[in-house]
Structure formats: structure tokens, C-alpha cells
Structure 1
């Protein structure tokens, strides 16, 4: 069986990190994980599932001492594949894998936005370093056609890019009334309240301030914001200034997304840029109607595959969000779009890539149109 070392920047709560944890349960390969920084709660959960996790103790982006430690780890482990995730890990991991003589080096690009990567501005230096180290690998996996187009715009040759979407375990998000009741009790949310919510890292590109502004325009609407990040303090101040602090629950990072989704009545994703839109898919798997601005996972599918997902244009303001969130509530059937991203299928495609095969690309689907406000 193929031995694979996954290299990731860290194992805090985040989309790429949770996606890796999910894939580890489905990949038909002998996997281990190396985190450049620290393992955290998610790392311990991965370890408890029987997957070794190595911590390299990197102190910052320029801590070059992590590189020889990673090279030694790869050499000693005799891995047939090194698979990197997130920008810093892709840079250091590709270099280390090449120095260690690894025959197959794969990278997944999870977080490349238009003008930013992982919430940070993409300077010329960032792009140049990315291109230089990308050439050291065998293949770069884009999680959506949108990300593939951005990689090509950065100068990565089309022949070095393949699209393998994020996977989802739909059963893990199936609606459970007891989860709903328990989460609402824990957060002090009345059982009969109308709750709009979102899950994600609290950074400017997620535009959570739009949801707070919408709540201020919607009497009785409660917000459930699950996630952490540098914007949290500012968003809490904004909620207080707009008089909705008492109707807004900030949960911080969580590894129990299913329970948070169960407590909601409608999911909101106002980010104008996404690489995939996994949060929207998870919400649909939980039977929630969703309002979003960017979701590449749905853009390439027929509209009927996600009939309860409303797309608002990027220019839509708090009034439009207020109207959309107020009129969408209650559980809806899980749409066909969710089934198209079953994690077992995506894991099988990655496994073929590990052995030098080409993953099947699937059928091209028409893009979904925006719904005007």
C-alpha cells in the first residue's frame, strides 16, 4: 500500500484542515501527517483515529530550521508520496520532498482567491515563490475549476493542474433534532427563534459584517457565528454598536459543525470569493436553505441540483441580505448537489493520482446564474 505523508501548515479549525481529517478516514493509503506548527485539538482527533501526527514546531514563516527537520522526517519515513496542503506547507513541503528524493509530490490548493491567499494579500513575491516551488512537485490539485483558472493566471501550466473537488460525508451532517435542542440550550437561543448562521474563519474576505448589518434590519432574527479569527473582536464591537449583541452568538472555532448547523434555520455565506464553498454544501447536507454570494461547488451544476440555494450578487447590501434571510427558514430536502461530492469518490481520485494515474474529471456542467436582488 502507498505510504503518504500529508504536510499541512497547522491543524487549527479551518476548511482545509477539516477536509484533510475527513480524507484520512477514506484514503486507501497508509497515511501520516506532518504539521509545520502544532497539532492542536484537530491533530489530537486525527491521532485518536490511528494516524500518526508529527509536529515540527515551526515558529513563523521564516523559521528555516523546520526545513531540515522535515527533510529528515521524509527520508526516515520512506514515503512514496508527499501531499502538501496550504501555502506555507506547499512551499516548505515541496522543497523538503524534493531534497529527500520523494518520487511523487502532490499539492492541493485549497485557498487561492482573487488577489489573496488564505485571507492574505497576494504580492508579487508571494506569487514568485509559489511558482518557483510549484515546479518542484508532480501535480497541483485545484479544489474547483475556479481555483484551476487562478493557478493558470499565476503561470502554472495547465498540464500540471488537475481538479479534484473537496469531499463531503453527507451522513455526518444529517439533521438531528436532539442536536438542535442541545446546541440551542447551550448557547441560550430560544427554541422558537429564527436563526441565521454561518461557519468559517473570521477574516475580512468572509464579509460577516453584512450579516450583522442584516440582523440589525430584521427584528427578531438571531445570528449564530461559528468560527474564530482576527476579525472577531471587531465584529463583536459592530454587533454591540448596531444593537444586536444580545441576538448574536459567537461560538469560536468548533469541530462539531453538524451540531451548529442543526441549530440554524438558514445558512448565510456572504463571502464574495471562495475556492469551493464547502460550508454551503455542508449546510445543504444538513437540510438548510442557503443564501450565498460565491460557491464554485454549485456554479458548475444545473440549478435544479440545489434548488434551495439562493445566490445574491456581490453588490447586495444588508437590506438584500435581511430580506433573503427573513424569507428562508426550516428544513428542506437534501439536494442532489451534495451527492455529487461524496468524499469516497474524491478520495479514490486522489489515490489514483498518488500512483501516477489520471483522476477522472467527470462531466462539465453549465454554470448557474446569479439571482438578482
Structure 2
């Protein structure tokens, strides 16, 4: 089956990197291309480097409806037999364009949905109404976790239209030698024996990276075996606010912002702990990445682990949202031996990307391309 994946943007975020991984591991019987509405970033470049065709539709804003005929023509001209959308805006325009192009099998993956929030923005009554109207134009809505499936049901999406298919991780990509982490530390100006707390994700309020800046300041005021540093991997509108907070607390020289990067495994190799203080997550892919890299992980929300037995991730510990709890937990880890790496736990194998991609391929097989319409002349015979 030839599938066109429609995505809102291709900056280096969790949903975007997940799309890249899925395409790399889908069985060859499914041929895929990507259409990005706006902002082709590092993930678009990585997809092209891996041989995938990426079409940039150059959408100028949320209400640029001129993208609809362009996308519909792309679907028809490319002979695509199915459309798979990712993220809210792509779900709206992609489903409608598929209908205009006469393509019926339409899958939409819901990556980031909470009861009152979608992709970090308030889910107002109008947003929900538009979402549900577009959802009815599709065939299947994929939920990346049980939490997302529950929210879809609460919003009124019928259970028979929801398919649970979690995110996946390319476990072997994170098995790197110690020299890699040492080289990254040297590149970023991090001392070889520093205690590096790492955070990975979009720099937005919901990720609560300010908690880590507060904890860094508290650790700097306490004597310890290693000097604490903070490494934040990602880009977003909160960068200036986080930098200002670090300056006010007197730890600006201990914080490194990498911006958008596509070498997350290498950056994880430079950390001593992966910290994920976000109180609301739809899956928690970053937590799994930290575990795959052999790091101790501290987190506040991770539905991916909450659905597994406690011994599936012995290196991970859930913390309350309070800043004091994070400071205590990081202080305990700082006292431990430097450079120690843990074996990959069962949770990482459970979410192996090859298994997830195979399940998606089976979903495509079940949907199948819609039957070709019978020409009117043939009906008159």
C-alpha cells in the first residue's frame, strides 16, 4: 500500500521523531511519503537523508485553506492509497484532503491529548467540536496510550474507531560507548566529572523544566562530590524565561541549552540522570529513551510505564510534582558513582519500534485500499 503521512511540522519533537522511526521500520510492502504542512525542520532533513520523499506544502497559518487543494492534488497525483495524519492541524486538513482526493482509508495518530488540553493548548468547546467533525471523516484514530484512548472516549469518539498502538523506541541506537558521552561533554563545555542532570523535550511550560533550574540552584548551594550542571535538549518559547530564571538564581553558567538536535542518543550519553518533571504526558517517550541509554530516570508522569509491571523499569522512579522532592532525588543521585550505566530494562524491549511498526503495518493491511470506483459507462451495460 502506498501511504502519505501528513504532519503539521517536522521540527525535532516527540511525535515528529516517532514518525521518522516508524517509517524506517515499516515493512517494505508499504511505501510511504511525507507531506509537511509547515516548518520542515531537522526531522525533514533526517527523513530525506534516509531516502524518504518529503513534500513541503508551505502552509502560511492555521487558516490557510489554500493548502487543501494542494494536498488533495498531491494525494491524487502520487497514487496514494491511504493517508495517515499526525497532530491536530494535519488531522483537520489531511482527513478533508483525503476525502476530496477520493481516498477512504484514513488513519490519524493522536500523539498529545489530555482532557482539557491538546498539544499543549486549551481544548475549548470549539476546538473539540472541530476535532470531532474531522475525526468522523477518518477511518481509525490511533491512541498512543491508554490515557489518550480514555480521553478520546470522554470526548465522544466511538470505541470501535479507536486503535491502541503505543510509541516505540529503537533500543540499539542508545547503546553507545563511554567515549561518546565524553566527546559530547567536551563539545558543550561540560566538565568531565560534573554531575549532569538532563532534560529532553520542547521548551514549553508544560514540561516544567523550571523545576530543574530550581533544583540546580539548590544543589549548587550544597557541598557534594560533583558539581551539578543542567543540560536541556530542545527548543521552544520558554527558553528565554528559563535562561532568565537561571540568571536570577545565579546558575546561568551551569545551564547548557542545545536547541533543536537530532542526536538525542549521543546527548543522553553525556548525562548522569534523565529528569522528566512534566506532570502531564500522553506517553512519556523521553523516559524510555533515558532508560534505553542506561540512565537512572526520575519522572512525574509516564503512561508508558504505568501500564507495565513495577519491575519493568527498575531504574525509573516516579516523583511528586513538588520542587523539593526533585531536589532531594537529584541530591541522592549526585552522591552515587559517576558514569555508571544500567542495563536496558524490559520496558525498553516491550516498546521496541520494530514490533510497533509491524503492528501498524497489520493495521494498514486490514484497512486495505478502497475499491476502485466503477465507471458510469460500465454500470449502464
Could you say which TM-score interval applies, normalised by the shorter chain?
over 0.9
Match of 1:334? 344
| Deviation string, structure 1 residues 189-216 (Cα, Å, up to 9, x no partner) | 1010011111000111100111111111
Q: Indicate the SS of the match to 1:89.
A: helix
Q: Indicate the SS of the match to 2:48.
A: helix
Q: Indicate the SS of the match to 2:141.
A: strand
Measure the CA separation in 1 of the matches of 2:176 and 2:355.
Answer: 23
Q: TM-score, normalised by structure 2?
A: 0.91
Measure the CA separation in 2 of the matches of 1:43 and 1:357.
Answer: 27
Write the mapping of 1:258-269 to structure 2, written as runs, cut at 5 A: 258-269=265-276
Aligned partners of 2:9 and 2:40 also within 8 Å: yes
Q: TM-score, normalised by structure 1?
A: 0.93
Aligned partners of 1:175 and 1:287 also within 8 Å: no
Shift of residue 244 of structure 1? Answer: 1.1
Measure the CA separation in 2 of the matches of 1:171 and 1:114.
Answer: 34
Shift of residue 44 of structure 1? Answer: 1.9
Q: Indicate the SS of the match to 1:184.
A: helix
Measure the CA separation in 1 of the matches of 2:209 and 2:39.
Answer: 28
Shift of residue 357 of structure 1? Answer: 5.9
Q: Indicate the SS of the match to 2:5.
A: strand
Pick from 238, 242, 246: which aligns with 2:249? Answer: 242
Alignment: residue pair count: 355
Greater Rg over alpha carbons, structure: 2
Measure the CA separation in 1 of the matches of 2:285 and 2:350.
Answer: 13
Write the mapping of 1:112-131 to structure 2, written as runs, cut at 5 A: 112-131=113-132
Shift of residue 38 of structure 1? Answer: 3.7
Match of 2:378? none
Q: Indicate the SS of the match to 1:217.
A: helix
Q: Indicate the SS of the match to 1:267.
A: strand
Measure the CA separation in 2 of the matches of 1:286 and 1:45.
Answer: 21
Match of 2:285? 278
Does residue 307 of structure 2 align to residue 300 of structure 1?
Answer: yes
Shift of residue 253 of structure 1? Answer: 0.9
Pick from 337, 340, 351: which aligns with 2:361? Answer: 351
Match of 1:221? 228
| Deviation string, structure 1 residues 56-92 (Cα, Å, up to 9, x no partner) | 1101000000011001101111211100000000010
Match of 1:154? 155
| Deviation string, structure 1 residues 76-128 (Cα, Å, up to 9, x no partner) | 11211100000000010001111111131000000112321111111111111
Gaps of 5+ in 1: 359-373
Aligned partners of 2:34 and 2:54 also within 8 Å: yes
| Deviation string, structure 1 residues 228-284 (Cα, Å, up to 9, x no partner) | 101110000001101111111111111000111000001100000001000000000
Match of 1:320? 325
Write the mapping of 1:133-144 to structure 2, written as runs, cut at 5 A: 133-144=134-145
Q: Indicate the SS of the match to 2:113.
A: coil
Pick from 242, 250, 257: which aligns with 2:264? Answer: 257
Measure the CA separation in 1 of the matches of 2:262 and 2:88.
Answer: 22
Measure the CA separation in 2 of the matches of 1:16 and 1:108.
Answer: 9
The 3 A distance-change label for structure 1 pair 95 and 357 is closer
Give me the CA root mean square deviation.
Answer: 1.2
Q: Indicate the SS of the match to 1:225.
A: strand
Match of 1:194? 195
Measure the CA separation in 2 of the matches of 1:357 and 1:323.
Answer: 50
Measure the CA separation in 2 of the matches of 1:311 and 1:42.
Answer: 30
Match of 1:21? 20
Aligned partners of 1:217 and 1:319 also within 8 Å: no
Measure the CA separation in 2 of the matches of 1:185 and 1:267.
Answer: 19
Shift of residue 291 of structure 1? Answer: 0.3
Measure the CA separation in 1 of the matches of 2:132 and 2:285.
Answer: 26
Measure the CA separation in 1 of the matches of 2:176 and 2:325.
Answer: 28
Measure the CA separation in 1 of the matches of 2:169 and 2:64.
Answer: 34
